[in-house]
Amino acid sequence: MNANASIPSRNTFPLGRIAVVTGCSGAIGRATARALADRRWNVVGTTRVKNIGTTVPETNLLVQALDAEAVVRGDEWALPLLPVRSAVWGAVPPVALLVNNAAVCPAEWDAAAVQTALDVNVRLAARLADAYMFHGARDAMHPGAVVNISSGDGELCFFVEPWRSRIAALDTMAQLERLMHEVVQRVRDGTLPADAVVHGPEPAYRLSKALLNRLTVLQARRAPRQVRVDAVCPGDVRSAMTSYGGSRTAEEAAADIVHLVELQLASWRGETTPSGQLWRYRQPTTF
Ligand SMILES: NC(=O)c1ccc[n+]([C@@H]2O[C@H](COP(=O)([O-])OP(=O)(O)OC[C@H]3O[C@@H](n4cnc5c(N)ncnc54)[C@H](OP(=O)(O)O)[C@@H]3O)[C@@H](O)[C@H]2O)c1
């Protein structure tokens, strides 16, 4: 597949079950896009990388360029599908599934690293879900799902008070945004060392994933009735992010993600647990 791929026609990329998977050049994103396409989803994979290879048949997989920065800045045209929509369909294609997979994992704790981690790992996920699930799908009757790919690194047990309590108490998107703004500001001022917030390596990543977990709860609460929102920790996966040192394959992680999607969509028929949970190894877990 090619990030510069020409716009597909209705016939080659039909309306129907559309999934958006961000970060599809990465290990888990690519495996997830492939697993969904194998299950007859029409997948829009997003990436900043041009000319990425894949074995997925191009009939149901489209790659679109996306950089988190443009979306977070509010550039509507950076949203995947928008150019396709206007050029081909002239109507909003129903995005039935959004997999917020894109992430960065900086080692540093400086204002730039924290800002980027929050933009890519949290704000991008929030913005895309708003665009597809809450605005576009508000009046639609088809069931929908959001899967935020998170991490056990964001569990609150790693956090220092008062941050642990502050994160757990976040109740609105505005409060979440204010907290992110405050952290970047204080890191820039030099008044907030990493160890005053969280224990362990990659503190900006840990903070972003804790906030993504909280975002998942808030999104689940305000989602339309037919839309489920959950997070999933894929385990320790061999990818660029782990220098290919993890114990699981990306395909194993993708199978768990697809399993969760199937549970989420089955909930439309009243068969499953409440929305807004963090899943690991196919079980809901605490965070
Ligand atoms: N690997 C693990 O053990 C592990 C464990 C727990 C959680 N996770 C989570 O699993 C997800 C996938 O991780 P992975 O291991 O597959 O990592 P990866 O191979 O490094 O993939 C990360 C993806 O994020 C995208 N990305 C980074 N910066 C971006 C930006 N500014 N704008 C848009 N996209 C951007 C990249 O997209 P492009 O380069 O395609 O633009 C890349 O494809 C992440 O959410 C990660 O936190 C992974």
Above 90 in pLDDT, residue 88? no
Q: Spell out which residues line ligand 1, taking CB within 6 angstroms.
A: 22-23, 25-29, 47-49, 66-68, 101-104, 120, 149, 151, 233-234, 236-237, 239-242, 246
CB atoms within 10 A of CB 123: 22
Across the chain, what does the average pLDDT equal? 87
List of domains in the chain? 18-285 (3.40.50.720)
Instruction: Give me ligand 1 centre to Cα 104, in Å.
Output: 6
Name the closest-CA residue to atom 47, ligand 1: 103
140 Cα to the center of ligand 1, angstroms = 30
**Rounded distance from Cα 141 to ligand 1 centre (Å):** 31
Name the pLDDT band for 3 (thresholds 50, 70, 90).
very low
Q: Considering the chain, what percentage of its residues have pLDDT values greater than 90?
A: 63
Tell me the per-residue pLDDT of 150-208, one tens digit each, with 9 for 90 and over: 999 999 999 999 999 999 999 999 999 999 999 999 999 999 999 999 999 999 999 99
The pLDDT, as a whole number, for residue 85 is 61
pLDDT tens-digit readout, 39-69: 988 888 999 876 655 544 556 788 888 899 9
Name the closest-CA residue to atom 31, ligand 1: 68
pLDDT(281) > 50? yes
pTM, entire model: 0.92
Atom of ligand 1 nearest to the CA of 236: 3
Q: Is 285's pLDDT higher than 70?
A: yes
Average pLDDT over residues 109-128: 97
The closest residue, in CA terms, to atom 20 on ligand 1 is 241
pLDDT, residue 55, reads: 47
Give residue 243's pLDDT: 95
pLDDT at 6: 46
Q: What is the pLDDT of residue 30?
A: 94
- The full 3-state SS of the chain, as one line of letters, equals CCCCCCCCCCCCCCCCCEEEECCCCCHHHHHHHHHHHHCCCEEEEEECCCCCCCCCCHHHEEEEECCHHHHHCCCHHHCCCHHHHHHHHCCCCCEEEEEECCCCCCCCCCHHHHHHHHHHHHHHHHHHHHHHHHHHCCCCCCCEEEEEECCHHHCHHHECCCHHHHHHCCCCHHHHHHHHHHHHHHHHHCCCCHHHCECCCCHHHHHHHHHHHHHHHHHHHHCCCCEEEEEEECCCECCHHHCCCCCECHHHHHHHHHHHHHHHHHHCCCCCCCCCCEEECCEEECC
19 pLDDT higher than 80? yes
